[in-house]
Amino acid sequence: MSKLTQLTVLLMAGFVLFCPVGKAEIRSEAVKYQIDGQPFQGYLSFDDAVVGKRPGVLVVHEWWGHNAYARKRAEQLAKLGYVAFALDMYGAGKVADHPKDAQQYMEAALSNMKVAEARFNEGMKFLQKQPRVAPDKIAAIGYCFGGGIVLHMAKIGANLAAVISFHGSLASKDPAPAKGSIKSKILVLNGADDPFITADQIKSFKQEIQNAGADYEFVNYPGVKHSFTNPDADEYAKRFNMPLAYNADADKDSWQRMHQLLKQVFKQ
């Protein structure tokens, strides 16, 4: 039996499922589920005005955890006509408000990549089972920590049409993917002034992906720092003295590039 057989969508006290979010046709729901007895909480969003099955897109959160930002991106994907599921890689309630907690949660999630892969895969299975989703048309986007996760899933051959990494981690201990093993088109959207991403990491990543024969694009935004898509980045930078900065132009351009790739792979 799948680890997700225990997955249940529950009504929490005072929370109404399928409540309108933004425009009347965009509907979202908090999803409580379990993996190996551990509680997780995701967020499903879709446009109920769209008729028939449509592609699904997974959203993998930043190192802060499954927070409002990840849910907002799921809602934005729903407005583009996709069914989006913002999955949870840490576990219910593990949302950080301080870098020390975020680091702890991230390190725990990455301590066993087989466990991390299982968490991603169960989120994908949940999305594929949704009645509005074409199960053979799934992509994944990720931010920061989540960007590293979606790139990892592409490199191990996950059945994803595309993966898009926004200011995602490129540091990796993954074995080099074999020639022809990567099934996904890959888009990496990076800030050229991101101190967390080194020139050596970029070089190694590109070499690995090229050697594997993957279809990829790497966009390096000049003068742009880490977390450039998140409007809260400037506040985090000030509070914790971190090298983060929101960049509206890079945010807009990266989202448009993501949308173009999704339209391409899903032939919309």
Is 205 a residue whose pLDDT tops 60?
yes
The per-residue pLDDT for 28 is: 96
Domain of 64 in residue numbering reads as 17-265
Please compute the mean of the pLDDT values over residues 44-60 and round it to a whole number.
95
Residue 12 lies in a domain: no
**Overall number of domains in the chain:** 1
Q: What is the reported pLDDT for 89?
A: 98
CATH number (domain holding residue 230)? 3.40.50.1820
Give the residue-averaged pLDDT of 141-161.
98
> Does the pLDDT value for residue 184 go beyond 80?
yes
Which pLDDT score, from 0 to 100, does residue 13 have? Answer: 26
- Give the pLDDT band of residue 17 (cuts 50, 70, 90): very low
- Percent of the chain topping pLDDT 90: 87
Q: Is residue 27's pLDDT more than 70?
A: yes
Is residue 245 scored above 70 in pLDDT? yes
| pLDDT on residue 25 | 85
How wide is the angle at C-alpha 97 spanned by C-alphas 76 and 67, nearest 5°?
25
Whether 11 maps to a domain, the answer reads no
Whether residue 6 lies inside any domain: the answer is no
The stretch 218-247 carries a mean pLDDT of: 98
Q: Is the pLDDT of residue 21 over 80?
A: no
Residue 114 lies in a domain: yes
Assigned domain for 32 exists: yes
Evaluate if residue 117 carries a pLDDT over 50. Answer: yes
pLDDT at position 174 is 84
| 9 in any annotated domain | no
Query: Taking 50 as the threshold, does the pLDDT of residue 3 lie above it?
Result: no
At 63-88, the pLDDT tens digits run: 999 999 999 999 999 999 999 999 99
